[in-house]
Each structure stands twice: as C-alpha cells, then as structure tokens.
Amino acid sequence: MSAYPSIDTEVLRTFVAIADQGGFTRAGELVNRTQSAVSMQMKRLEEDVLQRQLFQRDGRQVRLTAEGQVLLGYARRILKLHSEVFNTLREPHMVGMV
C-alpha cells in the first residue's frame, strides 16, 4: 500500500468547481457548501495533503498556479472515472434473450 495521503472525490469536485467558477463563493454554491467550508477544504488540500500552492489569489478572484493546472487535469480524469465506475456497476444486470 502507498504511503501517500488520499484525496476525497468531494474535495476534487470542489477544486474543479473553483477552477470553473473562478472563485470560492460561486464554487460553494455549485457544490452546496459555504464559502468558508470551501476555503477550509482547499486550505487542507494545499497545506496538509499536497503541500503545494494551487491558487493565486487576487481579492475574491482566484487563478490556478501551474501546479493547480496539473491537478485540474488529474482531478477531471479521476472524477470522470469515478462516475464511469458507478454508472457501469449500477446498471441493471441483464440476463436472457430479448
């Protein structure tokens, strides 16, 4: 097993929402969290999990750093695969002839 910490898919969803919406408040609305909850999630992700700065903050506007851009690509892929797993495994099991 790996010694690396894991990143929850909800945190990745929030991260992608921030990147897409350009701010923590609008992202919070999208993922049904308060702006402060979104900020705390991203602070933990940056400081505790990845130990990398993911955002350049300019007032209320945020932009991704180069490392944030890298994570965004991976996050989108992970979330897509996550959805595919559930869509595939939740399909009804079909047996027989039609």
Q: Which pLDDT does position 69 carry in this prediction?
A: 98
For the chain, 98 residues long, the average pLDDT of each consecutive 10-residue run is: 82 97 94 96 95 90 95 98 89 70
Compute the distance between CA of residue 29 and CA of residue 50 in angstroms, rounded to an integer.
25
Q: Is 56 helix (H, G, I), strand (E, B) or coil?
A: strand
Q: For the domain covering 9-84, report its CATH number.
A: 1.10.10.10
Q: Which pLDDT does position 47 carry in this prediction?
A: 95
Q: How far apart are the first and last CA of the chain?
A: 45
What pTM, to 2 d.p., does this model score? 0.86
**What are the residue ranges spanned by the domains of the chain?**
9-84
Q: Which residues contact 10 (CB under 8 A, 6 or more apart)?
A: 31
Contact assessment for residue 56 and residue 18, using Cβ atoms and an 8 Å cutoff: no
Q: Which pLDDT does position 98 carry in this prediction?
A: 65
Q: Which pLDDT does position 1 carry in this prediction?
A: 54
Q: Which pLDDT does position 15 carry in this prediction?
A: 98
